[in-house]
């Protein structure tokens, strides 16, 4: 089986969970594919370029699971003709996945708010508009947002992988998600949301990512563009409350 996913979509974590059997592996903030934190029964190849996908065949040793970032499903089907292809993509909890990519592979809180805002904007477009989804035989889509909900995860594991979650799986689930960054769920947002309502959702968080998210959310859900700002994103206060007081826009 092939599990394809973009950065931040917890593909290596899911694959590790599926192969736990009766053992336990410590959950990490980044359950990476470097060979030290995932089972030997999983083959991970880096990158999504065509040549990397082709070269993976020479490295594959018959492992039960293949994980990758490749989105060339026709090529994956050609070189692994008998493998089911699972695609993890964030239909829900999009900003949770963006946060994971930002902190695991991106600049993290060493970034400026401006850079974090660009990162959020770019990934949001990828996940909602550009991300190709498998439309070939024997391929399925899993919503990233359901992976953090234990009841949904149990259904997914049973239906797609024929795996019944046991106590060690549940512990691995709880440990992993307790390590992940907490972000606002976009299901809490609505068009026309006020700055005061948005401030309440963030619970006075002050990180670079949260401040960039605050700007992105407010502008997106109030149909505002950066050209309407009466302030500069290059000079953003340290708290969300101060930020909300700064953000004024031209009509």
User: Count H helices, E strands: the chain?
Assistant: 10, 5
Order across the sheet with 2-5: list the strands: 42-44, 65-68, 2-5, 85-89, 139-143
List all residues 6 or more positions away from 115 whose beta carbon is below 8 Å from its beta carbon.
107
Q: Which tens digit of pLDDT belongs to each residue from 136-165? A: 889 999 999 999 999 999 999 999 999 999
Annotated domain spans of the chain:
2-179, 186-246
Q: Which helix (H) or strand (E) holds 87?
A: strand 85-89
Which pLDDT score is estimated for 36? 58
| pTM: predicted TM-score of the whole model, two decimal places | 0.90
Q: Are 208 and 117 in contact (CB under 8 A)?
A: no
In DSSP notation, 130-172 reads I-----STTEEEEEGGGGGSHHHHHHHHHHHH-----HHHHHH
Q: Which helix (H) or strand (E) holds 16?
A: helix 11-18
Q: Which tens digit of pLDDT belongs to each residue from 69-87? A: 998 899 999 999 999 999 9
Residues paired with residue 141 on neighbouring β-strands, in sequence order = 87
Which pLDDT score is estimated for 35? 52
What average pLDDT does the segment 40-45 reach? 86
């Amino acid at each position: 089986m092939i599990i394809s996913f973009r950065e931040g979509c917890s593909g290596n974590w899911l694959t590790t969970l599926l192969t736990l059997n009766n053992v336990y592996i410590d959950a990490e903030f980044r359950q990476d594919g470097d060979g030290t934190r995932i089972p030997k029964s999983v083959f991970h190849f880096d990158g999504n370029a065509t040549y990397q996908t082709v070269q993976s065949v020479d490295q594959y040793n018959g492992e039960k699971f293949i994980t990758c970032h490749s989105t060339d499903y026709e090529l994956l089907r050609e070189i692994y003709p008998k493998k089911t292809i699972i695609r993890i993509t964030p239909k829900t909890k999009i900003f949770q996945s963006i946060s994971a990519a930002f902190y695991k592979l991106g600049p993290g809180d060493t970034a400026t708010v401006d850079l974090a805002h660009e990162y959020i904007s770019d990934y949001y477009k990828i996940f909602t508009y550009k991300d190709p989804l498998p439309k070939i035989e024997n391929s399925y889509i899993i919503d990233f947002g359901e992976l953090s909900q234990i009841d949904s995860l149990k259904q997914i594991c049973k239906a797609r992988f024929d795996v019944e979650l046991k106590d060690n799986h549940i512990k691995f689930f709880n440990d992993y998600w307790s390590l992940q960054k907490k972000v606002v769920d976009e299901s809490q947002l609505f068009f026309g949301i006020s700055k005061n309502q948005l401030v309440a959702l963030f619970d006075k968080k002050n990180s670079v990512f949260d401040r960039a998210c605050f700007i992105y959310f407010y502008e997106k859900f109030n149909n505002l563009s950066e050209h309407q700002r009466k302030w500069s994103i290059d000079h953003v206060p340290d708290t969300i409350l101060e930020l909300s007081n700064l953000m004024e826009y031209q009509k």
